[in-house]
Amino acid sequence: MSMSVGDAGSSMSEPNITPMIDILLVLLIIFMVIVPVTPKGLEALVPQPPKNPQQQQNNDRTIVVQVLYRPGQAPAYKINETDVAHQDLLNQLQQIYANRAERVMFVKGDDDVNFAYIADVIDIGRAANVDHIGLMTPKIQAGQ
C-alpha cells in the first residue's frame, strides 16, 4: 500500500481533525458528568396549618396514624385516637379507605420511636391503597 503525501514543493491543504475529536470527547465527558442525577426518595407530605384559624377542620376526612413509644416494648398504634393493634392496622385502614375518593393519611411518631416502625406504617398504608402519605412533625403541631 502506498500513500501519497503530495509533491515535494506543495503544501497540504487537508485539516488535521485529531485535535478537534479530542476536544469533542472531552466536552462529551464533561457534559455527562455535569448532568444532575435526581435522587428518588420517599415523597413526604407535611400538613399545612389552616389559613383561617376560625375555620373548623373536617376531622372525619383526616386520618392520622400515631406510633406511640413504649419503653422496652413494641410501640402502640392509634388511628385518630382509637387504639389499634399492629396486626389490625391493615384491615382497619382498608375499611376506612374502602369508600373514600380522597386517600390521604398522615403518620405521627413519637420522638423516641425507631424510624423502622414509621416506615412499617407507611408500607401498611401503601398496602391499604393510600395514595398520599404525609409525615406530621412537632413543629407543625405547635403552630396549630
pLDDT in tens, 15-74: 777 888 899 999 999 888 887 666 666 666 666 666 665 544 444 568 889 998 888 888
133 burial (CB, 10 Å; 0-12 / 13-18 / 19+) is: buried
Residue of 87 and 142 predicted with greater confidence: 87
Domain contains 99: yes
Domain that holds residue 128: 63-143
Note whether residue 128 is domain-resident: yes
Flag whether 19 is in a domain.
Answer: no
Question: Could you report the per-residue pLDDT of 100-116, keeping only the tens digit for each?
Answer: 888 889 999 888 888 89
For position 72, which CATH number holds?
Answer: 3.30.420.270
In this structure, the number of other CB atoms found within 10 A of the CB of residue 65 comes to: 25
- Is residue 10 situated within a structural domain? no
SS3 71: coil
Number of domains within the chain:
1
Contact 130, 104 (CB under 8 A): yes
Place of cell 391499604: 128
Tell me what pLDDT residue 137 has.
74
Residue 37 lies in a domain: no
For the question of whether the overall pTM of this predicted structure is more than 0.85, the answer is no
The answer, yes or no, to whether residue 78 has pLDDT greater than 70, is yes
4 within a domain of the structure (yes/no): no
Question: Does some domain include residue 134?
Answer: yes
Give the C-alpha separation, 4 to 33, whole Å: 42
Share of the chain above pLDDT 70, in %: 69
